[in-house]
Structure 1
């Protein structure tokens, strides 16, 4: 009987001192980057686009983000949608719906090249959209690691 009680005490003391657990993590991959203000990060099958705002709603300017999962190769689809917008005539804005955000791709025709800006608004928050700095087609290719 003493042996059983001793073993039980040792077992419970062993369990009570085991406070540290190893949790499985998914590696974070930094994909393309433009000017340290614009980059894409991948965690598992989830992509997050980080961008620096030039104009914002009620919030202070700074780094903002939008996230989406790569279901049905959405990462490549987003790249294709953006690049095809550069060739559209006339240029028009494209509105995308993501799980938590609406993203407008706003194209600007300059004299020497066409630029695109991301205008992101949260579905839950009715405040104005956050607007990214404009990017050229070459910068989009660098951001998405294409070309």
Structure 2
């Protein structure tokens, strides 16, 4: 009997002091991905992940994020596509909240390509570089080929529910 109580006490003690905690699964939507570059959306924040070719360790992945405040995702896509049509003489510099990203255009095998060059934490000492991307790859990453580009302007369901709840009783607002 003592052994059973001792065993039960040990099992109860182990479960009470466990170190693993289950976290809420956050919903991240993949807009598009090609090889080692991808565009992801969480609420109204967009993140571009890429494999950093500037490091000796090829398992280094970096990312930069921005809000879609003024249709910035569509603007970035248009900026890249326009760069393919008329290659800029120098890099296009974009200042994001946490980083500086340059769009480096170059012709590879006669085809226009773009490369993301990220200055991490706006520090020119820490640089990450993506692979070179052609137009088809950019279309795939920005969800133009799979139809997910419609998610750029899609409002957050929680925000949309709050807005509809506020506007559900307009006659009550008029009486006040």
TM-score (norm 2): 0.62
Query: In the alignment, what sits opposite 2:110?
Result: 112
For residue 109 of structure 1, report the CA deviation from its aligned partner.
Answer: 1.2
Q: 1:114 to 1:91 in 2, by over 3 A?
A: farther
- SS of 1:133 mapped into structure 2: coil
- SS of 2:52 mapped into structure 1: strand
Cα RMSD after superposing both structures? 2.2
- SS of 1:105 mapped into structure 2: strand
Query: In the alignment, what sits opposite 1:50?
Result: 49
Alpha-carbon distance in structure 2 between the residues aligned to 1:109 and 1:91: 12
Query: In the alignment, what sits opposite 1:131?
Result: 129
Query: In the alignment, what sits opposite 1:16?
Result: none
Q: 1:90 to 1:45 in 2, by over 3 A?
A: closer
Q: Which of the two has greater helix per residue?
A: 2
Q: Which of the two has greater strand per residue?
A: 1
Alpha-carbon distance in structure 1 between the residues aligned to 2:62 and 2:24: 27
Q: 1:41 to 1:89 in 2, by over 3 A?
A: closer
- Unaligned regions of 5+ residues in structure 2, if any? 1-22, 146-176
For residue 115 of structure 1, report the CA deviation from its aligned partner.
Answer: 0.9
Counting only pairs closer than 5 Å after superposition, residues 1-147 of structure 1 correspond to structure 2 as 27-35=27-35, 37-56=36-55, 60-61=57-58, 62-89=60-87, 91-146=89-144
| Runs of 4+ residues deviating >2 angstroms | 23-27, 89-92, 122-126
Map Cα deviations across residues 2-41 of structure 1 (whole Å, 9 max, x no partner): xxxxxxxxxxxxxxxxxxxxx9876211110101x11111
Query: In the alignment, what sits opposite 1:7?
Result: none
CA contact (8 A) 1:52 1:64 kept: yes
For residue 92 of structure 1, report the CA deviation from its aligned partner.
Answer: 2.9
Alpha-carbon distance in structure 1 between the residues aligned to 2:62 and 2:71: 23
CA contact (8 A) 1:85 1:91 kept: no
